[in-house]
Amino acid sequence: MAKVLKILTNDNPKEDKVLREKSEYVPVEEIKSKEFQDYLDDLLETAKKSKIPAAGIASPQVGVLKRVFYTLNYDTNEWQEFINPEIEPTNLAKTSIEEECLSVPGKIGKVLRYANIKIKFMDRNGEKKCIKYTGLNAVTLQHENDHLDGILFIDKIIK
């Protein structure tokens, strides 16, 4: 049974240090392991049961420096995992939307991001995928992907 993990926040210096670290690539063998599959279930459960409604959660937010995150698709209302994601803009159009984050409590700010992206990733079966996203879904994916590189949205707020 999946369990809720502790969400790290940037107002704790030790936790902020972890949030600022770069995450590691997850090998296919590890993805297919029972331990990792259980971890994926725990990470998703953590997002679903967070005190504030979450649109996504990245592995570093629970102190595990692996290149994995979940987002809630705004078109389908379904959660999806992204393992070892690589994001590319599909054109140069940008958008700015107010963002907030489970790891940065009480802060909101506008961030300029690509409006249209494609993301290459692996699913929980180790299958490679490539999907295009636009609008709010594209923004959410970029926000969560930043976590994998130790970047918080407050580092990118436009003045």
Task: Say whether 15 is catalytic.
Answer: no
Q: Distances from the Cα of 133 to the Cαs of 88, 136, 157, in angstroms?
A: 11, 9, 22
HSE-CB of 82 using CA atoms within 13 angstroms:
27
User: What is the Cα–Cα distance from 118 to 132, expressed in whole angstroms?
Assistant: 4
Query: Catalytic site residues?
Result: 144
